[in-house]
A = this chain, B = another copy of it.
Amino acid sequence: MFELLQCRKSLMIIFLALKFFFMFISLSEARVHNYTWDITYQYKSQDCYKKLAITINGMTPGPVISATEGDTIIVNVVNKLFMENVAIHWHGIRQIGTPWMDGTDGVSQCATIPGDTFTYQFVVDKAGTHMYHSHYGVQKESGLYWLIKVTVPAGKSDPFKYDDDDHSIVLTDWYHSSSYEEATKLTSVPFVWIGEPQSLLVNGRGKYDCGNLTTNVCDLTNPECVPYSLTVVPGKTYRLRIASLTSLSALSFQIEGHNLTVVEADGQYVEPFVIKKPDSSRNYWMSTNVVGRKPQTPPGLAIFNYNPNHFNKIPPTIPPPGPAWNDTKSRINQSLAIKAHRVFIQSPPSTSDKVILLLNTQNTIQGRTRWSLNNVSHTLPHTPYLIAQRKNWTDVFDQTPPPESYDFQNYDIYNVPGNTNSTSSTSFYRLEFNSTVDVILQNSNTMNVNNSETHPWHLHGHDFWVLGYGDGKFNMSSDVKWYNLVDPIMKNTVPLHPYGWTALRFRADNPGIWLFHCHIEAHFLMGMLVLFESGSEMVGEPPQ
């Protein structure tokens, strides 16, 4: 069994131990991949329930972008959403020197209006399993997302072996209400929670309990919701690229009766570690379960099919249960278990130039429920930061940077805050170019008694070293001693566990202004984000 956090993605898994690998200098020529994507609304029945989804060339999930490290991707995004704008973020692509292409509305661009086309052009700088998804309002949850698969260039090879082509498994959660309904609830006074998703999908397929709904609303025989089935041959070793693109849920993932070995995360090789499964006899479910929140969404199921059985034959067993949803300790341990592959260690700087301590709290601003960092709930300006900064428009955003710490002597992270008032701001942190920065994420109790949530934090434009995770309140003098400075993995997304802390280090070496935020759609909309500016005066001209 293996647990996946919402954005702990790009895990390549093999069933057999590693043997050896080779590494060559690549002399092959980089290629250009050109796509044109019509973005339209279409009725889809991914979990048998018919609802309006946002599609790419008629499809949700969208197409897989397949390329080799160093290649250039060009995507002409044609907005045909009638009245709705669009922006697409290339999650895991660092956009080195191309901050305009990051696809974040309010930061790198204005969202593209209906009838218009925005051309994204960027280099996929690092092999691995990356993702793309809408980065505009809560549009992602309408289904505008999928994978970017970047292979190693000729002359290089992966530090593990497998027999077959690799396969992708993407996990998503699925709401039946529209993104406008979700956004309306989340911003209403009094606050209305959107609730848990109706379904978990494996490769865009799920099964909703249609109950008494008529078949034109919910139809279990709709071919669009036939469970995904992965056909394999006994005895072979497979590489699976597993990604989670959920809007809310943290997930586990398991294949009944099989051990999985984690070999890569966020485009970096890791020391392989086996995720154990109790032995099972034959025929198999792949399943995914909600963890970190009390599950109210049924598991997502797919079929692990051994050739020559029929690919959609239902396994005779009951799907295995997922891990205990509230076993935070195990999840912290799993987080700690991920280390850089010994041959691919990129050592972090031994010290940092600046430390930013970010306490996340749940708050109220003018009756609206919000999330804050150091008591500041962030909103994006109407004019994208990059443009405002370039044009020196000082009235677009708050010029005073937000606080770099909180009152860690006195703040009680285990209780509901006494005063939930907060302020909103469009300010950002200014980092000296090429400086090394530590960020310590500190979790706390929400406005509900005995509740602290998991937050997957994602940094744009950079990878960071993951120096440590811990329970309780981070202690600046004692916890830093436990930092892993030897073989920390570099990632772009990391979990912050309930009542815990997570420590990161990164070098501010990519000129621009970059988001760092909780990847849960609702939390992002509610202000759980900060921005890092560094060397933005070096950024070139915006695209046409």
Contacts and interface: CB of A to CB of B under 8 A. Distances in A.
Interface of A: 40-43, 52, 81-85, 106, 110-111, 113-116, 136-139, 178-181, 183-184, 188, 381-382
B85 A184 contact: no
B84 A83 contact: yes
Contact of A113 (B41, B111, B188): B111
A190 to B, nearest CB: 13
A181 B139 CA distance: 16
B82 A180 contact: yes
Nearest to A139: B83
A292 B183 CA distance: 39
Given A42-B188, A85-B85, A113-B113, 9 more contacts: A41-B183, A41-B184, A43-B184, A52-B178, A83-B138, A110-B113, A111-B113, A113-B382, A115-B381
Given A113-B111, A382-B116, A52 B83 contact: no
A393 to B, nearest CB: 14
Contact of A85 (B114, B136, B179): B114
A184 B44 CA distance: 12
Nearest to A182: B82
B181 A52 contact: yes
- Of all A-B residue pairs in the complex, the 4 with the closest CB atoms, nearest first, are A115-B382, A83-B137, A82-B183, A41-B184
A188 B136 CA distance: 25
Nearest to A86: B83
B137 A82 contact: yes
Copies in the complex: 2
Given A52-B181, A113-B111, A83 B136 contact: yes
Contact of A41 (B106, B139, B180): B180
A42 B180 CA distance: 9
A52 B180 contact: yes
Contacts of A81: 180
Contacts of A42: 184, 188
Interface centre among A42, A52, A188 (most CB of B within 10 A): A52
A204 to B, nearest CB: 19
A480 to B, nearest CB: 41
A109 to B, nearest CB: 12
B382 A82 contact: no
A84 B85 CA distance: 6
A85 B178 CA distance: 17
A116 B381 CA distance: 10
Contacts of A180: 41, 52, 81-84, 178
A534 B40 CA distance: 35
Contacts of A41: 180, 183-184
A82 B106 CA distance: 12
A111 B83 contact: yes
A110 B382 CA distance: 16
14 contacts: A42-B184, A43-B184, A52-B178, A52-B181, A52-B184, A82-B183, A82-B184, A83-B136, A83-B138, A84-B84, A84-B85, A115-B382, A116-B382, A178-B178
A106 B82 CA distance: 12
B52 A179 contact: no
Contacts of A106: 115
A214 to B, nearest CB: 12
A381 B116 CA distance: 10
A194 to B, nearest CB: 13
A13 B494 CA distance: 68
A60 to B, nearest CB: 13
Contacts of A138: 82-83
A122 B113 CA distance: 26
Nearest to A54: B180
Contacts of A85: 83-85, 113-114
Contacts of A82: 137-138, 179-180, 183-184
Contacts of A136: 83
Nearest to A81: B180
A400 B257 CA distance: 69
A138 B41 CA distance: 14
Contacts of A83: 84-85, 111, 136-139, 179-180, 183
A57 to B, nearest CB: 14
Contacts of A116: 382
A368 to B, nearest CB: 13
